[in-house]
Structure 1
Amino acid sequence: MSDLLSIGASGVRAHQAALTTTSDNIANAATPGYVRRTATLTQVGGTSVRLGAGMGVAVSGIARAADSFRSAQVRAAGSDVARTETGMVWLDRIESALGGQALDERMGDFFNAGTALAADPSATAPRAAMLEAASGVAQAFSGTVRAIDSAIADLDTAAAADAAKLGELSSGLAKINEGLGRVTDGSAGQAQLLDQRDRLLEEMSGLTDVTTTFDSAGRASVRGGGADGALLVHGSDAAKVGYARNADGAVSFVSSRAGVESILTPTGGSLAGIAEGAARLGEARASITTLATEFVNGVNDVQGRGQDLAGKGGNPMFALETGGTVKAMLSDPAAIAAASPGKGTRDNGNLSKLADLRSTAKFETRTVALQAANGSALAARKTVAQAQGSIHDSAVAARDAASGVNLDAEAIDLMRFQQAYQASSRVIQVARETLDTLLQIR
Structure 2
Amino acid sequence: MTDLLGIGASGVRAYQTAIGTTSENIANAGTAGYVRRTTTMNEVAAASRGINGNAPLVASGVVVSGIARESDELRQVAVRSAGADLARSETAVTWLDQIEQALTRSGLSGALTGFFNATRAIAADPSASAPRLAMLDSASGLADAFKGTASQLAQLGRDLDATAGNAVTTLNDLATGLARINDGLSRATPGSTGSAQLLDQRDQILEQMSALSDISVTMDVAGRATVRLGSASGPVFVTPGVDPGKILYSRNVDGAVSYGLRRNGVTQSVSPSGGALAGIADAAQRLAAATTEIDRVATEFVDGVNAVQAAGEDLDGHAGGAMFAIGADAASITVTLTDPRGIAAAAPGGGTRDNANLASFDTLRASGSAEGAVTALVAENGAALSSRRTVAAAQTSIHDGAIAARDQMSGVNLDSEAVDLMRYQQAYQASSRVIQVAREIFQSILNVS
Q: Is the 8 A contact 1:45 1:53 kept in 2?
A: no
Unpaired segments of 5 or more residues in structure 1?
A: none
Q: State the distance in 2 between where 1:52 and 1:433 align.
A: 23
**SS of equivalent residue, structure 2 residue 330:** coil
Q: State the distance in 1 between where 2:236 and 2:378 align.
A: 40
Q: Is the 8 A contact 2:247 2:260 kept in 1?
A: yes
Partner amino acid for 1:144? T
The answer to whether residue 182 in structure 2 is matched with residue 177 in structure 1 is: yes
State which of 292, 300, 303 in structure 2 corresponds to 1:297.
Answer: 303
Quote the RMSD (CA, aligned, Å).
Answer: 1.1
Q: State the distance in 2 between where 1:285 and 1:429 align.
A: 84
**SS of equivalent residue, structure 1 residue 347:** coil
* CA displacement 1:249-289 (0-9 Å, x = unmatched): 22111111221211121000000000000000000000000
Q: Is the 8 A contact 1:226 1:267 kept in 2?
A: no
Q: Is the 8 A contact 1:321 1:327 kept in 2?
A: no
Correspondence 1:393-412 to 2 at 5 A? 393-412=400-419
Q: State the distance in 2 between where 1:352 and 1:285 align.
A: 30
Q: Is the 8 A contact 2:254 2:288 kept in 1?
A: no
Q: State the distance in 1 between where 2:342 and 2:45 align.
A: 107
State which of 325, 349, 352 in structure 2 corresponds to 1:345.
Answer: 352
Q: State the distance in 2 between where 1:301 and 1:27 align.
A: 77
Q: State the distance in 2 between where 1:374 and 1:305 align.
A: 37
Partner amino acid for 2:389? K
How far the C-alpha of 1:322 sits from its partner, in A, is: 5.0
How far the C-alpha of 1:323 sits from its partner, in A, is: 4.7
State which of 318, 324, 334 in structure 2 corresponds to 1:318.
Answer: 324
How far the C-alpha of 1:55 sits from its partner, in A, is: 1.1
Correspondence 1:9-88 to 2 at 5 A? 9-50=9-50, 51-88=56-93
Q: State the distance in 1 between where 2:33 and 2:226 align.
A: 19
Q: State the distance in 2 between where 1:403 and 1:296 align.
A: 64
* CA displacement 1:141-188 (0-9 Å, x = unmatched): 111101111111110000111011111101111111111111111111
Counterpart of 2:135 in structure 1 is 130
Normalising by structure 2, we get a TM-score of 0.97
Over the matched positions of the two proteins, sequence identity in percent amounts to 55
Counterpart of 2:291 in structure 1 is 285
Counterpart of 2:53 in structure 1 is none
Q: State the distance in 2 between where 1:177 and 1:201 align.
A: 12
How far the C-alpha of 1:384 sits from its partner, in A, is: 0.5
The answer to whether residue 374 in structure 2 is matched with residue 367 in structure 1 is: yes
The answer to whether residue 156 in structure 2 is matched with residue 151 in structure 1 is: yes
* CA displacement 1:374-425 (0-9 Å, x = unmatched): 1111011111100000000000000000111111000000011011111111
* CA displacement 1:15-56 (0-9 Å, x = unmatched): 000000000000111111111101101111212333442111
Q: Is the 8 A contact 2:3 2:60 kept in 1?
A: yes
Counterpart of 1:252 in structure 2 is 258
**SS of equivalent residue, structure 1 residue 238:** coil
**SS of equivalent residue, structure 2 residue 187:** coil
Unpaired segments of 5 or more residues in structure 2?
A: 51-55
Partner amino acid for 2:279? G
Q: State the distance in 2 between where 1:166 and 1:19 align.
A: 38
Q: State the distance in 1 between where 2:231 and 2:301 align.
A: 45
Counterpart of 1:188 in structure 2 is 193
* CA displacement 1:271-311 (0-9 Å, x = unmatched): 00000000000000000000000001100111112111122
